[in-house]
Each structure stands twice: as structure tokens, then as C-alpha cells.
Amino acid sequence: MLAVLSPGQGAQKPGFLKPWLDLEGTEARLRAWSDLAGVDLVHLGTEADAEEIKDTAKTQPLLVAAALLAAGHLPMGDVSVAAGHSVGELGAAALAGVLTPEAAVTLAGVRGREMAAACALEPTGMAAILGGDEAEIIAALAAHGLHPANRNGAGQIVAAGSLSALDAFAAAPPAKTRVIKLQVAGAFHTPYMAPAQAGLAAAAAGITPAQPDRLLLSNADGTAVGEGAEVLARLVRQVTSPVRWDLCMRALADLGVTAVIELAPAGTLTGLVKRELKTGTPEIVNLNTPDDLAAARDLIARHGSSPSHEPTPHVRIVVAATAGTFEPTPDLAVGTQVKAGQVIGQVITRQGGVDVTAHQPGHLVEWLAHQDDPVAPGQPLARIGEHS
């Protein structure tokens, strides 16, 4: 089984699209998409320097356009799984047939402009936290009023929030951690982006999504989303919600993915896959230039297959509705059958306990939070397996 990955912000490099412009029709396609995105994608991908392509309003449509350009030269009909990181989810949604390439690039342009505007409202930022104990890190972030904006696996959590809170956190970090401040415009994937989410929602309201024609993994919880309308709704909510790339990689392992192609500009996501999936690491191709197309096509020929319409196992995520500490139901063990509406735990807040319930029948596949773990709103707590 083969997955194609679409990278997110931070993967861009000056001039990375230059080799692609030698392919017939590429420049014309980029010119047309530039009109939709409201930025000059040809200039940004070939002549712009690192500082210019760091601008959120320009980077986001550039990355989505680049991924779709590269994918346009692959036999995507034999690709079973698509996933993207952050804004890369717009590219992945187009690869899965939910959005047209034109709609994906248009939304990326809106998303980039709206998020850049939200960043300008107050001084916020992000920092990567390497190493340490995950539960201790999450608790420390909550104590500083910060958010775990990205969980990228391989011992990496990205914190986001006010610059003063990030400075205070970095001054006294949890044990065995290293904190690296990131050169980004603001606190992406947090409530600070609420104005941007509203702007993106208005643009998305004019788009009619299609049903996905292959497995499309969601950043929200790593699950494969089967309804086009739900995909679009998640793409909008993602602006203020954490990116759970760790759960997407876990889904790749659960699905038995044997090969991965990362689209241009490639290397970031496949690097995380290599570090996280140490047992049974998929065969990998980074598709950075047209010179890599032969290897990518060969990988698809050897590992690809037409998406199956047979019933497949699904895993759904139960998330926290509020902040607090998690208390799972005593004696509810992994593998236990649960009913729809069954209480599987509580989030303990200052006002009391808030029930956590299973939304559908199935079996408890895995606890994602444990006794007394600090949790944030929307944080995954457990995985419930079912068959459709």
C-alpha cells in the first residue's frame, strides 16, 4: 500500500520550483493558479528569496500549488492513501478528489492571507520542544497558557502562544528538553487564529466538495474521513486546532503502508516517518525535481494499487471537550467492547467532572491519554475501532 504526502509550511526553499518549469504546461498552470491565489507563484517558486517566501500569505498557496504540480505527473489512480501536514491538507484533499486543484489553491490563498492578518493582531509565536516527557511538557504548556499546536512524533511537540509566555517557558523548560524558537509569524493552530478560521469558513461556504476517492487521513486525529463535507469542515477547523501528525503516522503504520512519496518540496515529512516508524519503515521517495519522477513512478508500480471498495476497518478518536485532567473509567481495558454513548472516562475540571463518551459502538483500540494526564480541548483521549 502506498501513501502520498503533501508538506506544510516551513518546507519551502528558494528556487525549488525552477526545475519544474522546464516541463511543458507548468508555467501556464502556475500563471492560472496565481490569479486564483492572489500571488505570483512563478516568481515565488523561482526567484523569491527565503525572506519573501517565509511570508505566510505567500508560502501557503505556493506549497499547495507545488504539491499539486508534482502529483500531476504521477499515476495517482494507483495511490491508496493521501495525507498532508497543516496547509498541506488542502493539497491532500485535492489529491483525494474532494477539492479541485483550483479550489485547493484558492482556499490556500485565502487561508494564507487570513492567517497572516490574524498574526498581526498581537505578538505570538511558536517553539519546537525536543525530548522530555510528553505528559510533563503538556502540563507545563498549560501552566504557561500555551498550546501544543503540533505533535509531530519522534519526540517533537511545537508550542504556540504569546511571545512572553514562550519566553517564560524557554527560561525554565521541563527536564531533558531543548526549546528552539521558530521563525514564524504567529501562533498557528491555536485560538489566536479564530479570525482566520472565520475568513476561511466564508470562502469554503462557496465550494461543493466531492467524496474522497481514496483514504484521506485527517490532521485532527489521524482517521480516514469518508465524507467530503466533513473533510471541508475539518480543513476550516484545522486553522485553530492542533496538528496531530503523530496520529497520521500511526495510521500509516496501522494501514500497513509499505511505501511513501512526499511531494515537492520534500523531505520534512518523510524524515519524520523514518524516525517514527522504525519498525517496518516504508520505502521512501522524495519528489523534489522532475529527475525524481522515474523513482516515484517505479515505487507506485511496485507498491500501488487501485483504492479498494471493500469494507475496511475504521478507527475513530474520542477527544476531550474541555481542559482538565483525564480520568479513564476504572477497569476499562484495551480490547473491551463499548457501546455508543458509553462513558469511558471523565475530564476533571475545577467545576467537576465532564463525561467522555464513545460516539459509536466498537472496541477500545488504545488509550491516548492516561490517569491524571493534563488534557486540552480537542485533545485525543482514546481510539475506538469499528468495521464499516
Name residue 100's amino acid: T
Could you tell me which of 216, 158, 200 has the C-alpha nearest to residue 60? 200
The string of DSSP letters for 85-97 reads STTHHHHHHHHTT
86 is catalytic: yes
Kindly give the residue spans of alpha helices, DSSP state H, lying in 53-100: 56-71, 88-95
Are 159 and 185 in contact by the 8 Å Cβ rule? The answer is no
- Residue 37 CB partners (closer than 8 Å, separation 6+): 61, 65, 105, 106, 108, 109, 112
Q: How far apart are CA 199 and CA 305, in angstroms?
A: 38
- Residue 73 CB partners (closer than 8 Å, separation 6+): 23, 290, 293
Across the beta sheet with 147-153, the strand order is: 147-153, 156-162, 124-131, 177-181
Tell me, rounded to whole angstroms, the distance of Cα 25 from its chain centroid.
Answer: 30
Q: How far apart are CA 193 and CA 200, in angstroms?
A: 11
Are 307 and 214 in contact by the 8 Å Cβ rule? The answer is yes
- Residue 147 CB partners (closer than 8 Å, separation 6+): 141, 159, 160, 161, 187, 189, 190, 191, 242, 376
Q: How far apart are CA 29 and CA 348, in angstroms?
A: 53
Q: What is the CA radius of gyration of the chain?
A: 20
Q: Which of 147, 189, 241, 303 is catalytic?
A: 189
Q: Which of 80, 86, 218, 241 is catalytic?
A: 86
Are 153 and 272 in contact by the 8 Å Cβ rule? The answer is yes
**Residue reference for cell 488534557:** 375
Could you tell me which of 118, 131, 125, 134 has the C-alpha nearest to residue 57? 118
Element (H, E) at 380: strand 380-387
Residues with a catalytic annotation lie at 86, 189
